[in-house]
Amino acid sequence: MMKGRFGSLVSPAGGRSGSTARHAFTLIEILVVVGIIGLLIAILVPSLARGREQARTIQCRANLSQIGKALVLYANDYKNTLPYENRGEELINGRICWFDAIDHYLGKVKVEKSVKICPTIALDQPTFEKSYRMNSKLAEAATSKKPEKMKYYMPYRRLDRLDRPGATVLNFDGEVKGTVISLKGRWRLHKDDVSYRHNQTTNLLFADWHVDGINKNVLKEKSIKNSPIIWQPADMGPWNPDPQG
């Protein structure tokens, strides 16, 4: 080591010694840092995605709550009855499908028609305009010629005739695969009409107007015997959890 002209220490190669010497990153160090960043991204991205879906889940529940309020107003105007659950028999007694009937009442509660579409569907499948369904087991469709089935035909369900409205499903997150989307459906063991698009959870509107989010496996456990979650009221005949299984 030699003294320079002004007394500072200079290495024989001309560079400064001590703490002022620069340290270059090795390739291994760079790869380690990149690996750590990649690991953090792999951990954080799914968490962020779940967080965003949780926000959409909350908005979906709010949508069903607003739909419930519109159905309350409808029921008040029609002697405590619900509208028909699907399109196709709109002219029976001059009433229409629930999906169309609530438009008039959504305006009364100052809610936009956008509540009729789940935010997850609006994001993932923007061409779809429907995502919620009404429980078809509240009434049998008038499609059977068999008297034993037609005796259960109730196109307009009276809410005051439900034994346990707080446990009876009214509307729910519906499956929307395909180009034709039904506005009615039900839970079943196979070929389920319920969608679990919110992190394997579905949102349900019950006939007492409360909304709840339920995990897929929990819903199966609670629905397979039609209790404690009720899909088919007792006056609709025997319950079949798997009619097409």
Tens digit of pLDDT for each residue in 172-222?
A: 999 987 666 789 999 999 989 999 999 999 999 999 999 999 999 999 999
What is the per-residue pLDDT for 173?
Answer: 97
Q: What's the first-to-final CA gap in the chain, in angstroms?
A: 88
Rounded-to-integer distance, Cα 83 and Cα 154, Å = 11
User: Could you tell me which residues come within 8 angstroms of residue 52 by beta carbon, excluding any fewer than 6 positions away?
Assistant: none
pLDDT at residue 112, rounded to an integer: 72
Q: Identify which has the larger pLDDT, 226 or 113.
A: 226
Where are the strands (E) in 121-217, listed by range? 132-135, 169-173, 184-185, 201-206, 211-215
pLDDT, residue 143, reads 59
CB proximity list for 120: less than 8 A, separation 6 or greater: 53, 56, 57, 60, 131, 197, 198
Q: How many residues does the chain have?
A: 245
pLDDT in tens, 128-172: 888 999 999 997 666 556 666 677 777 789 999 999 999 999 999
Q: Which residue from 211, 53, 164 is spatially nearest to 119, judged by alpha carbons?
A: 53
Q: Using one digit for the tens of pLDDT, what is the confidence trace for 11-69? A: 555 555 555 556 677 878 778 778 877 887 777 666 566 668 789 999 999 999 999 99
Lowest mean pLDDT among 1-10, 39-48, 84-93, 96-105: 1-10
Q: What are the residue ranges spanned by the domains of the chain? A: 26-236
Nearest to 198 by CA among 213, 219, 184: 213
pLDDT attached to residue 142: 60
